A and B are shown apart, each in its own frame.
Chain A
Amino acid sequence: MNEMIPPEQPEHGDWLAVHWWRMRGALPLSALVLVSACASTPPPPEVDSPSWKFLSARYDANHDGRIVRAEYLRSSDAFGRLDADGDGAISGADFDPRWDGVPRIEAVARSGTSEPAKNGRWIGFDDFVHGEGGPGEGDPAPLFRLATTDGEWIELAGFRGKKPVALVFGSYT
């Protein structure tokens, strides 16, 4: 009777020993592929906001849909004001409708909540705009000397005894 001798199969351990040198070389590469596949997040949803488009075009250097502090080239105060939800980056989510009209009086470290809170960080628009200050009627008008857009210097005191002055304070936006 012929004995069927199965072809010599290496022990499991042997198999590993035989193939390990091959795997070792390949492993880092496959590991890399695996890791990068996990790490690439889907692109953030498109946000229809001219301000976000303006900011991302200007500051999102790596085009990942988030402007982190290092990418934002202006002040930390401004960064804090723009990062409405306080997640440490300026992103499309900071231009969500719920932030419409919310004043950013202070923008320091947040408590972790993304809701506007009444603890000195966010205050009502009325409180801010209608705060007291400025000369009252009958008070002397504070004097000043400023340059015009053409570079001409004008002093308020120069009109005293000559003409009444209408002061119109405002900005572009």
Chain B
Amino acid sequence: MQFLGVYIREAHAIDGILPERQSGTWLMGTGERGLTIETPLSIEERRDLARRCALEMELGFPFLVDDLGDAVEAAYAAWPERLYLVDVDGTVVYKGEKGPDGFSPDEFEGVLDELVSFYAGTLGAAR
């Protein structure tokens, strides 16, 4: 199983589509983390932000950076966050609901478990 993170448009950049309003009530937690982020304007800025993000979250897998045209994000309708599982033959096996409500690591883990046992079963049968 290969995990790939894809860094896309910021969910709550202050000049973005859904800024977290900072009237003293922090809605989505970025305030608690002390994050005031403006939309990155170049691929280098995006990469820098992605790097900070990967560091803070201790991401254990590669973090790809989508281009400024948000092409991959658009192809996967992934904003603000989403999980997909792609099978070995290149087809989508699991498509998570868009986050944050749909971002369910538990559900994802369930799917992973199924996939793993499927492959294990196949391997067992092959012996």
Contacts and interface: CB of A to CB of B under 8 A. Distances in A.
Q: Interface majority SS on B: helix, strand, loop or mixed? A: loop
A133 B80 contact: no
Interface in A104-123: 104-105
A154 B4 contact: yes
Interface stretch (A16-24, A26-34, A124-132): A124-132
A41 interface: no
Contact of B95 (A99, A135, A149, A159): A135
A166 B4 contact: yes
B117 interface: no
A172 B10 contact: yes
Interface in B32-69: 34-39, 41, 47, 49-54, 56, 62-67
A146 interface: yes
Given A74-B41, A130-B98, A167-B4, A50 B31 contact: yes
Interface string A69-86: 000001000100110000
Interface residues of A, number: 63
Interface string A124-154: 0100111111111111111110111110101
Given A82-B14, A133-B77, A134-B75, A171 B112 contact: no
Nearest to A162: B88
Contacts of B67: 146
Nearest to A47: B23
Nearest to A55: B14
Contacts of A129: 80, 98
Nearest to B30: A173
8 contacts: A74-B15, A125-B18, A130-B97, A142-B76, A166-B4, A167-B4, A170-B99, A171-B11
